[in-house]
Amino acid sequence: MPLSKISETVTVTPFDKVNQQFSIARAYGTPCLNVSPANVLELNQLCNTFKELSHIYFPDIANGAIGALLGVNTFAFTYPVDVIQGSKERPFGVKTKLGWTLAGEYELSHKTMNTKKPPRQPFVYHVCRKDIEEEPLDELVQRFWKIEAEDTVPEQNEDSSLDQLAVQTIENSICHNGERFQSGFPWKPVKKLQNNYFSAVTQLKSLQKRLQNDPGLNQKYNQTLQTDVDKNFVKPVEMQAPPLETIWYLPHHPVTNPNKPGKVRRVANAASKFRGESLNSNLPTGPDLLNNFVGVLLRFSEHPVAVLSDIEGVFIQIAVRQEDQPALRCLWMIDNSIRQFQFTRLIFGATCSPFCAKTTKVNFQPP
């Protein structure tokens, strides 16, 4: 593994404690780490197999890509602060300042030919964030001028064919269902959704653990789901149907605003990846239909009074057509049992929601 350069400072951060940062003064860089990718899902399933490790959860990372190897010079924040050890030939957990490490041996999920027992593979696994603090000066300057020129230079659309397909799909799918307008999703030509159920389960357990430590937040978060069910924004669904290739499970989490104390929002993470794919990576943003900001400011000066208006909850005013709803599933725990729910309206965070809402507003009128 050739080392090509030395970075001045690399910062590593625990996934669950983003305010804690640990700096590595001398970090050797290489264009590529010759390390096999980590199967996060398989390791989370392994933790769930053993009772003593069931509370350990490793966040999913795109393609299982490993971006840094921590050596003995990082012992100041990788030394053990807690150890969970099971019986013989079981994996064990070691807690460090960066979070939990899983180590030991486990049986591989696949069987090799001509062997009676599955092979056992030694491993040590840890997940944390890494960040190189310095950014090349030329990239900083280019980004600065790009921001300065925004809304003053016509935007070059690099994928007009995909945008045209999105417009055609949305316009053909929008209709009035007797109560409100509904829209389909402008899927990319090749949809790559995979069964991420077990990944969603592990994230749900992590969320449950967090909420159990805050009973007040837990109560308010439960109420957000019940309110959405009562308003038919979300509906309970069966576990089996429809086909797996049309289902995607959205992890969700609470969001609070210090300026609005007591209010809790439940946000679905459409950008969460499983094996390199997410809901958003399968949906185009569509063409930009928003008014040019410079033009808005100029029109403000044309008359003495400017009037502003807004559509309250614009996304939840538009229904999602039935065949696309399974891609908006989420999990929740009720009476110690995992239940499935399904969004019936456009969600905040889906990359195509602004485009779908704007197209509906501009091109269609109530019957």
The answer to whether residues 103 and 125 touch, using CB atoms and an 8 Å cutoff, is: yes
The answer to whether residues 89 and 80 touch, using CB atoms and an 8 Å cutoff, is: no
Q: What is the DSSP string of 260-323?
A: STT-EEEEE-TT--BTTB-TGGGS------SPPHHHHHHHHTSSS-------TTTGGGSEEPGG
pLDDT of the chain, 367 residues: tens digit per residue: 444 444 556 677 776 665 667 777 666 666 565 555 556 666 777 777 777 777 777 766 555 566 677 776 677 777 788 888 776 677 878 888 777 787 776 554 443 333 344 444 555 555 554 444 444 545 555 555 555 455 444 444 445 777 888 888 888 888 888 888 899 999 988 878 888 888 889 889 889 888 888 899 899 999 999 999 999 999 998 876 666 678 899 999 888 888 888 888 888 889 888 888 899 999 988 887 777 778 888 888 888 888 887 777 788 889 999 999 999 999 999 888 899 999 999 998 888 898 888 888 877 666 5
pTM: 0.58
Beta strands in 51-90 (DSSP E): 82-84
Q: What is the DSSP string of 120-175?
A: EEEEEEE--EEEE----HHHHHHHHHHHHTTTTSPPP-TTHHHHHHHHHHHHHH-E
Task: Calculate Rg over the CA atoms of the chain.
Answer: 24
